[in-house]
A and B are shown apart, each in its own frame.
Chain A
Amino acid sequence: MGRTQSGDADTNEITLAAIGRTFREESGRSVATLIRVFGDIDIAEDAVQEAFTVALRRWPVEGRPANPGGWITTTARRRAIDRLRRASREQELLRTITASPVASPDPATSPETGPLPDDSLRLIFTCCHPALSAEAQVALTLRLLGGLSTGEVARAFLVAEATMAQRLVRAKRKIKAAGIPYRVPDPEDLPTRLRPVLSVLYLIYNAGADGPGGADLRSEAIRLTRAVAALMPAEEEVAGLLALMLLLEARRPARFDTGGALVLLGDQDRGLWNRSLAEEGQAIVRACLQRDRPGPYQLQAAINAVHADASEAEATDWRQIVALYSQLLAIAPTPIVALNRAIAVGEVEGPAPALALVDALPLDHYHLFHATRAALLRRLTRTEEAVAAYTEAVVLAPSDTDRRFLEDQLAALRKS
């Protein structure tokens, strides 16, 4: 309106993006609180969505509130109550809500206090309830706690938006119909119930390993894990998962070269590693070691902490890594762990003993099994077999990034 077009568009874009970011960071806690207050996921989601539209209109004019999380919760709660008031059939529900101490129908006098952190914790256990499918757990967590739109969740997992919308509707229907509770499990159930929560968080992190939007997913996973870790300081595995993500994230800047090709850990420019993330991860690992209650995530974090310790690849304490993998293999005896252990053995004892370990593994359909064999065969100068193994790995590669990397290895080997 009278302003120059380009300047106007610019200002708006920055402001709207900033509001969007704030909402993504804050909306999960607001949704969690409103689910507790209203006992209904849909009402909570709609109300927070409405608060977002109000914010888009008002924040650019009035400025960002001092406590955006509190503002969102208060506004969304007001909107939800307004809406329930309009719908007379919900009169009874309304009475229970306004009677409850958490409701503050007058936002003018109510302080903009943040929601109880317990609400987020309750919600993550609802989203990751074992009665829901793994796909539904991930989708619900990203949608409700991560504040991602249905379209964003769909794109992250390469499914059509309609499919994802249906998945979310079905999951929410099951929560309501089956009576999946909205609370933190009892202490005796906690170990089994925490497991899917951690695997969902790690899955979200790994879903961000490749592809566009990956950085958002990774930072979302780290943010949520940080929140869970802060709320459950007594659970070492939560801390272990956070440390693992931080240590992997620290190496991210060196993971791809300028041409976008994958760079193996041993070949990475360690000067590019993010020191502050690595140090934070290492500090958590040290604290976990002192408590001495190891679990799979803590051990994986410890392995990555050893890598972070080495200022150059040659300085890596591979004996320590073999020992940690042996410990991991004892509590998580999977062929993938055994494969990783064999790679470490190859660095300590040489390629021949490692190859013997690898060959015994039932991983014929896994590209990294063949890639590992190929690398060991190359070191043993069994070039023809190495070429065959790389070829097999290329065929099985799950992504373009992996395929490109393996093709480069194959080409280099053929040249030599």
Chain B
Amino acid sequence: MTHYLLSVHSVAGQVHEPMTEAQMQQSWQRIQKLEEEMKAGGAWVFSGKLHEPDTATVVRYDNGELLTTDGPFSESKEHIGGFYIIEAPDLDAALGWAAKVTDCISAPIEVWPFAGFAKD
């Protein structure tokens, strides 16, 4: 078994067609159903949706001095918007879950294996 991060990326400034109340409700229900499926299949470890990147804060040591700065670490336009941590027997199984997630949220999913988090 390997743990995988399924991360959802959002692009800053990208305007989406606003969803109607009914569409939002439907999308939420689909995601809920998928998460139940993941839990029932023993794949779900953790998941969460993140606030916008401008709510992030970076903490670092610079020449021995602790610096706290506003904003995300990466200056790129793309930021992680949410993620799943799942457990799967192999990459094909993880890609299978990723396919279901991307179908629900209509955004690309990145699948990353965790290092040193594997167990049998």
Contacts of B94 in A (CB 8 A): 179
B3's nearest neighbour on chain A, judged by CB, is A179
Once the chains bind, are B113 and A131 in contact (CB under 8 Å)? no
CB within 8 Å of A: which B67-120 residues: 88-92, 94-95, 111, 113, 115
A180: CB under 8 A from chain B? yes
Classify chain A: how many residues form its interface, as a range: under 10
B2: CB under 8 A from chain A? yes
CB within 8 Å of A: which B1-19 residues: 2
Distance between Cα atoms of A306 and B111 in the complex (Å): 46
A interface list, Cβ under 8 A from B: 129, 131, 177-181, 185, 189
Once the chains bind, are A179 and B113 in contact (CB under 8 Å)? yes
Once the chains bind, are B115 and A181 in contact (CB under 8 Å)? no
* Chain B contact residues, majority secondary structure: mixed
B118's nearest neighbour on chain A, judged by CB, is A179
Q: How many A-B residue pairs have CB under 8 A?
A: 25
Once the chains bind, are B90 and A181 in contact (CB under 8 Å)? yes
Once the chains bind, are A185 and B113 in contact (CB under 8 Å)? no
Once the chains bind, are B113 and A181 in contact (CB under 8 Å)? no
* Chain A contact residues, majority secondary structure: loop
Q: Pick the 9 closest A-B CB pairs, nearest first.
A: A181-B90, A179-B90, A179-B2, A178-B113, A179-B91, A178-B91, A180-B91, A177-B113, A181-B92
Contacts of A177 in B (CB 8 A): 113, 115
B interface list, Cβ under 8 A from A: 2, 88-92, 94-95, 111, 113, 115
Q: Distance (Å) between the CB of A144 and the closest chain B CB?
A: 18
Distance between Cα atoms of A364 and B43 in the complex (Å): 50
B114's nearest neighbour on chain A, judged by CB, is A177
Q: Distance (Å) between the CB of A85 and the closest chain B CB?
A: 23
Q: Distance (Å) between the CB of B98 and the closest chain A CB?
A: 11
Distance between Cα atoms of A189 and B111 in the complex (Å): 18
Distance between Cα atoms of A7 and B95 in the complex (Å): 59
Q: Other than A178-B111, A180-B92, A181-B92, give 16 A-B pairs with Cβ distance below 8 A.
A: A129-B91, A131-B91, A131-B95, A177-B115, A178-B2, A178-B91, A178-B113, A179-B2, A179-B91, A179-B94, A179-B113, A180-B90, A181-B89, A181-B90, A181-B91, A185-B92
Contacts of A179 in B (CB 8 A): 2, 88-91, 94, 113
Distance between Cα atoms of A129 and B88 in the complex (Å): 17
Contacts of A181 in B (CB 8 A): 89-92
Q: Distance (Å) between the CB of B80 and the closest chain A CB?
A: 19
Q: Distance (Å) between the CB of A293 and the closest chain B CB?
A: 26
B115's nearest neighbour on chain A, judged by CB, is A177
Q: Distance (Å) between the CB of A176 and the closest chain B CB?
A: 9
Interface pairs (14), CB distance under 8 Å: A129-B91, A131-B91, A177-B115, A178-B91, A178-B113, A179-B2, A179-B88, A179-B90, A179-B113, A180-B91, A181-B90, A181-B91, A181-B92, A189-B92
Q: Distance (Å) between the CB of B99 and the closest chain A CB?
A: 11
Q: Distance (Å) between the CB of A64 and the closest chain B CB?
A: 39
Distance between Cα atoms of A129 and B115 in the complex (Å): 21
Contacts of B113 in A (CB 8 A): 177-179
Q: Distance (Å) between the CB of A196 and the closest chain B CB?
A: 14
Q: Distance (Å) between the CB of A132 and the closest chain B CB?
A: 10
Q: Distance (Å) between the CB of B75 and the closest chain A CB?
A: 27
A181's nearest neighbour on chain B, judged by CB, is B90
Distance between Cα atoms of A181 and B94 in the complex (Å): 11
